[in-house]
Structure 1
Amino acid sequence: MSHVALICPPFHSHLRVFEALGGELLRRGHRVTFLLNAGASPSAGPPGLMRRETGSRSGRDIEALLARAARPTGPLGILRTVADAAELTDELCRDGPAILTDIGADAIVGDAMEPAAGLLADHLGLPHVSLSAALPVHHDPAVPLPFLSWSYDPSERGMKRNRGGERVARLLLTRQRRTIARWADAFGLPPRDGLADCLSRGAQISQLVPSFDFPRAAAPHRHMVGPLRAGPRDAIANDDAGGGRPLVFASLGTLQGHRVDIFRAVARACRDLEIRCIVAHCGRLTPSQAARIDADLVTDFVPQEKILQSAAVCVTHAGMNTVLDSLAAGVPMLAIPIAFDQPGIAARIVHHGVGERLSRFLVSPGRVKASLARLLAEASFRDRARAIGRDIATSGGVGLAADIVEEAILGRASRIEMGRNG
């Protein structure tokens, strides 16, 4: 069996996805080790999952970095986040070769958002699989960049718009591109100009299903496997604990749960509609802040997949994991995107008619109430969500992802052995 190294950014949602894949690979007899930035080790995970961290000589604070990422503040905030990400890549490229050699890694599964994975794999001659915990980042001229809220438009006008967005993104990502180019040169690799140049050329995995993405050109090395979760999903159960009143579940994820004003607007809208509301702030609110939200339940964490089985609508920041969990349960969404790829995911929610989108700058009890009323009244939203949910149920998930990783590893091993025998 092989020793697989997992490399991903220090975000909770990404770590959970990689832990699910790591657990499945462990179950199949492989050794699995997380290679993470200093201070980023997850506190829990599957038994047997090992962890190694880089050293941090820059004095940076991982919690401060995550806090900055949770509060985007225009172009300057974007540049700060790009600089932070480049610093994390620098750490991994600096310390990664020695760590990977020391543990005897046979292969790397790297987050598509972390270019160090591809750089290290090519430097050490290891097979490499890219895994998108967020939206895929590979180029398609008809598909807007993941962090843009633009609708799908395959016309020449739409593709011209996309090219303009890519030019702006190239400027904003200058710090990242320079870091990638510097380490490619240091490792003796051909020139690399950006994140897409660091993706695996053999296997790229995403959590999407085709019915929830924009149309893309097919490629044999790109695989949509659906959400990667640890363990089987429970069957959807009916809930009548609220006396027939619909339930709205509101979560803004692990980074955005501090936005008390959004939660208050959602709770007020639910009261006006006389429906139930559960808020999960993921530990981002103080008790006094939580007390200001007049919902039926305000708590830090809930079993999200189970709650969604009983929900009529999910109010979400449009994070990938919450959105896929909602679709798996057949639940329409009100998306309030804030950062990262959330605008792009919200655009897909609207495109496929599984929910509505509301700007975070325009959130008010009245606007939320109007959206929730439409989502509850119009059956088409739930019907379309359930249709995508059926696709998710048969998509393969973590088992198929592990199959693809094993094929990439064993295929490489077989070619090496054939070369030796020849």
Structure 2
Amino acid sequence: MRSIDFVAPPFAGHLFPALQLAKGLAERGVARVRILSSPGAAGAIAAAGLSHVEFLKNRDAEIWAIANTPRRVGSNPFAMWNQVQRNLALMKDLQNELSELWSVHPPDLVIADFVVPVAGLTAKSLGIPWWTGMPTPCVLETPDGTPAYLGGWRSYDNPLARIRDLLGRRIVRTFKKTSARLFAAPLRELGIEGLYRADGTEVVYSPDCILAYGMKEFEFSRTWPEHVEFIGPLTESPFPPEEFTPQTCGGNILISLGTHLPWAKERAIDLFRQVARISPEFSFYFSRGIPGSDRWEVEGNFHLYDYISYSHHMTHFSAAVIHGGTGVTYSAIEAGLPMLVWPQDYDQFDHAARIVQHGLGRRLRPSPKRIAADLRELIRLRRELGNPSESYREIAKTYNPVERVARAVQGFAGGI
């Protein structure tokens, strides 16, 4: 039987999709799987019933500090470079640990999350086939189309928009090349001499297969590399359903800013407490995004939970207020929920642009009265005119991510 090592950070948006894939492949007898992650991932991996190989022991605080910044990173180059510098300090140690492990116990295939490219590059140096797992395919550079990381550009099909997109793609590439020059020495230590291959694809992603964890129909039109495979959304939580008893009133509203963004959540909690006071017809359920915790409290029609599992409870809601992370976005699509999207950082602005452009929701206007009005309007339109997201919900049903990856593994021409 083939053996596959999945490499992912302990963050739910990256770890949970890997666990869903790995568990599905193992249950189908396609491969023996191991999950390589830091100790902070132990609870989720155990809940999935999978084997855990720990790396970067005693370094979880550093890992989480990189992702959980004290303020928005946005398009601030200095904030981005600070993240890169801190990340590189960990990556060399990770490379050494992976080299030691795989030199003795090599898998037949490595599937590395896109934020841990050093895992793929290390596998390549040892002659091990490597695929990239990509929860956010919009960040891939392509020769055409609307680029990401520029504040959430919408996509338009006209000459001016094509010129704008061309300039945007050049800005993104120039920033990356500038960053590579700034960090040339540590990148060389990791085996990265340049950022791009001769065909223009990025060296930090697999040249053989990039598994895009999403729907091609959700993305803006562009020319994708031939080795990008859209396998569909991966939205399952490894944890069993937590206790959750929603009200049955005019509507239950989910509010979730994901598992990061601590600086944004307290502000959001205060805001939605105000929204709840002027919207007695709704019950509001705020998830702090702490997987595995079942703590909750209630204040009138405002319910504050440490964690609400999307995969177990999304159908209880009438609408969702989200930050635009891929997990909650696709969970809302699968449940057919209208969305108010409130992007905070990173690629969330790009997902928000897609949600709005496809008619799946609206951008949140951060005032209690406007939020209340927009929620009433979204639910009214859905009730009177039908569900505008139904077509995307039906498209999502046509994907079977585990089955697609199982076929890809079985048919892989690299000799695994």
Is the structural similarity TM-score above 0.5? yes
Q: Alpha-carbon deviations, 1:65-121, whole Å to 9, x = none? A: 343277537444322222233233322223221111222222110112322133112
Three-state SS of the structure 2 residue aligned to 1:44 is helix
2:307 is the alignment partner of 1:307: no
- CA separation of 1:230/1:149 partners in 2, compared to 1, >3 Å: closer, same or farther? closer
Deviation of 1:150 (Å): 0.9
2:404 is the alignment partner of 1:393: no
Partner of 2:241: none
Three-state SS of the structure 1 residue aligned to 2:414 is helix
Partner of 2:34: 33
Among 186, 190, 208, the alignment partner of 1:183 is 190
Deviation of 1:143 (Å): 2.4
Q: Alpha-carbon deviations, 1:221-244, whole Å to 9, x = none? A: 211111124599xxxxxx99524x
- CA separation of 1:200/1:80 partners in 2, compared to 1, >3 Å: closer, same or farther? same
**TM-score (ref. length: structure 1):** 0.82
Q: Alpha-carbon deviations, 1:244-302, whole Å to 9, x = none? A: x0221111111135612213323432442332211111249x999x8797643211112
Mean Cα displacement is larger for which, 169-178 or 363-372? Answer: 169-178
2:103 is the alignment partner of 1:97: no
Deviation of 1:41 (Å): 3.4
Q: Is the 8 A contact 2:138 2:219 kept in 1?
A: no
Alignment-mate amino acid for residue 20 of structure 1: Q
The whole-number CA distance in structure 1 between the counterparts of 2:139 and 2:185 is: 18
Q: Is the 8 A contact 1:40 1:62 kept in 2?
A: no
Q: Alpha-carbon deviations, 1:104-139, whole Å to 9, x = none? A: 222110112322133112201111111112334322
Structure 2 counterparts to residues 284-323 of structure 1, below 5 A: 295-323=301-329
Q: Which runs of 5+ in 2 are unaligned?
A: 239-244
- CA separation of 1:381/1:107 partners in 2, compared to 1, >3 Å: closer, same or farther? farther
2:349 is the alignment partner of 1:334: no
Deviation of 1:378 (Å): 2.5
Alignment-mate amino acid for residue 121 of structure 1: A
2:114 is the alignment partner of 1:116: no
Q: Is the 8 A contact 1:205 1:222 kept in 2?
A: yes
Q: Is the 8 A contact 2:120 2:130 kept in 1?
A: yes
Among 346, 350, 353, the alignment partner of 2:352 is 346
- CA separation of 1:352/1:172 partners in 2, compared to 1, >3 Å: closer, same or farther? farther
- CA separation of 1:382/1:350 partners in 2, compared to 1, >3 Å: closer, same or farther? farther
The whole-number CA distance in structure 1 between the counterparts of 2:174 and 2:70 is: 20
The whole-number CA distance in structure 2 between the counterparts of 1:159 and 1:370 is: 34
Alignment-mate amino acid for residue 285 of structure 2: I
The whole-number CA distance in structure 1 between the counterparts of 2:387 and 2:32 is: 42
Partner of 1:132: 134
Deviation of 1:48 (Å): 3.7
Three-state SS of the structure 2 residue aligned to 1:153 is coil
Structure 2 counterparts to residues 264-279 of structure 1, below 5 A: 264-273=270-279, 274-279=281-286
The whole-number CA distance in structure 2 between the counterparts of 1:70 and 1:14 is: 21
Deviation of 1:52 (Å): 3.2
Q: Is the 8 A contact 2:253 2:318 kept in 1?
A: yes
The whole-number CA distance in structure 2 between the counterparts of 1:228 and 1:70 is: 28
The whole-number CA distance in structure 2 between the counterparts of 1:225 and 1:413 is: 22
Among 370, 374, 388, the alignment partner of 1:371 is 374
Partner of 1:417: none
Among 357, 367, 371, the alignment partner of 2:363 is 357
Mean Cα displacement is larger for which, 59-68 or 387-396? Answer: 59-68
Deviation of 1:201 (Å): 1.7
Paired residues, number: 394
Alignment-mate amino acid for residue 5 of structure 1: D
Mean Cα displacement is larger for which, 86-95 or 115-124? Answer: 86-95
Three-state SS of the structure 1 residue aligned to 2:387 is helix
Three-state SS of the structure 1 residue aligned to 2:131 is strand
The whole-number CA distance in structure 2 between the counterparts of 1:395 and 1:158 is: 33
Deviation of 1:9 (Å): 2.9
Structure 2 counterparts to residues 198-217 of structure 1, below 5 A: 198-217=204-223
The whole-number CA distance in structure 2 between the counterparts of 1:381 and 1:264 is: 33
**TM-score (ref. length: structure 2):** 0.83
Alignment-mate amino acid for residue 10 of structure 2: P
**Could you say what the CA RMSD is over the residues aligned between the two structures, in angstroms?**
3.4
- CA separation of 1:351/1:340 partners in 2, compared to 1, >3 Å: closer, same or farther? same
